[in-house]
């Protein structure tokens, strides 16, 4: 029986970027394309025949009037967090998850948008894709703090809903990414209940639209494994299939360490490490 398709087209409009509406002008150097050529031969005799010679072309792009952007700034981000609230996350794991989400929310700017998806037996979106203004952050933190753990674990459904959130957007920021926070102990692989310890093909947890094909990744998923008993094979397989990274959150000290970092890597996906390397939370966020 096919799963129902959700249409999430209620995303909050993106914040205009500093360059929106800027028109190129010919005042000074702004808006001027500078083109210079350097020929191998300054001159060729009129009666001389030469079919091939080298020309060096130098092109300088126009500078936008409002483009004084430092290297530390980045493109706006659309982020979907997929949170495991199944029974296996009850206790310290859920506390760690909430603390980690607080860190994520704190490090998003007003130009970034966040949506929160939770899953146990099934998945649901609890926060629409919203700008992380002060009000947006308060709403997201309140939703996270209200979470409680129960039920079985259906990672595949959580990722499926994350795809639907991003596919349904009316507006789009320059970068989109997904992070999965879970102990990885899935028991609904392929939509059917599978006892813990059963044979699994973890790639089936990843929707087709998320998987890398010919080095072109459709949607990156960064995975965070919670607890010493997390299923590292599942979390690694999901990250590798999507070109993401796999990090391990063992205890509160790891989350506290991340708070010392001012530029979280979750907002800089273009700088992520190779997907087949296990890294700790703090290292991934540097």
Q: Which of 77, 68, 61 is nearest to 18 (CA)?
A: 68
- In whole angstroms, give the CA distance from residue 273 to residue 258: 17
pLDDT more than 90, % of the chain: 44
| Domain at 77-266+275-285, CATH homologous superfamily | von Willebrand factor, type A domain (3.40.50.410)
144-203 pLDDT, tens digit each = 999 999 999 999 999 999 999 999 999 999 899 999 999 988 888 765 566 665 556 888
- In whole angstroms, give the CA distance from residue 228 to residue 220: 25
Query: What pTM value is reported for the model?
Result: 0.71
Query: Quick check: helix, strand or coil at residue 197?
Result: coil
Instruction: Look at residue 74 in the predicted model and tell me its pLDDT.
Output: 76
Q: In terms of pLDDT, which residue wins out, 7 or 107?
A: 107
- In whole angstroms, give the CA distance from residue 206 to residue 279: 21
Instruction: Look at residue 6 in the predicted model and tell me its pLDDT.
Output: 80
Positive or negative: CA dihedral 158, 159, 164, 169? positive
How far CA 106 is from CA of 140, 203, 238, 261, in Å, comes to: 10, 32, 26, 12
Instruction: Look at residue 58 in the predicted model and tell me its pLDDT.
Output: 78
Instruction: Look at residue 217 in the predicted model and tell me its pLDDT.
Output: 57
- In whole angstroms, give the CA distance from residue 119 to residue 153: 7
Instruction: Look at residue 37 in the predicted model and tell me its pLDDT.
Output: 82
Instruction: Look at residue 112 in the predicted model and tell me its pLDDT.
Output: 96
Residues in the chain: 286
- In whole angstroms, give the CA distance from residue 210 to residue 178: 10
The terminus-to-terminus CA distance of the chain in angstroms comes to 44
Q: Does residue 279 have a pLDDT over 80?
A: no
Label residue 40 exposed, middle or buried (CB < 10 Å: 0-12, 13-18, 19+): exposed
Least confident segment among 36-40, 43-47, 160-164, 257-261: 257-261
């Amino acid at each position: 029986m096919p799963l129902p398709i959700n249409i999430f087209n209620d995303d909050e409009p993106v914040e205009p970027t500093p360059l929106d509406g800027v028109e190129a002008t010919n005042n000074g150097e702004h808006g001027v394309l500078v083109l210079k050529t350097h020929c191998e031969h300054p001159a060729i005799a009129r009666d001389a025949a030469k079919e091939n010679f080298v020309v060096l072309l130098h092109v300088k792009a126009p500078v936008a009037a409002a483009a004084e952007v430092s290297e530390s700034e980045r493109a706006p981000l659309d982020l979907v967090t997929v949170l495991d609230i199944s029974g296996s996350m009850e206790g310290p794991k859920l506390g760690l998850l909430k603390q980690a989400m607080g860190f994520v929310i704190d490090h998003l700017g007003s130009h970034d948008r966040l949506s929160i998806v939770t899953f146990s037996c099934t998945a649901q979106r609890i926060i629409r894709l919203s700008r992380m203004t002060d009000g947006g952050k308060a709403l997201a933190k309140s939703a996270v703090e209200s979470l409680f753990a129960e039920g079985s674990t259906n990672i595949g459904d959580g990722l499926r809903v994350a795809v639907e959130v991003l596919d349904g957007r009316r507006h789009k920021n320059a970068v989109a990414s997904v992070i999965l926070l879970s102990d990885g102990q899935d028991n609904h692989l392929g939509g059917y209940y599978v006892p813990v310890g059963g044979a699994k093909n973890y790639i089936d947890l990843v929707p087709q639209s998320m998987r890398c094909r010919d080095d072109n990744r459709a949607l990156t998923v960064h995975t965070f494994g919670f607890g010493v008993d997390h299923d590292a094979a599942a979390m690694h397989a999901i990250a590798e299939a999507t070109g993401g990274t796999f990090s391990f959150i063992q205890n509160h000290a790891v989350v506290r360490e991340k708070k010392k970092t001012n530029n979280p890597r979750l907002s800089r996906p273009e700088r992520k490490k190779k997907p087949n390397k296990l890294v700790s939370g703090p290292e991934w966020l540097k």
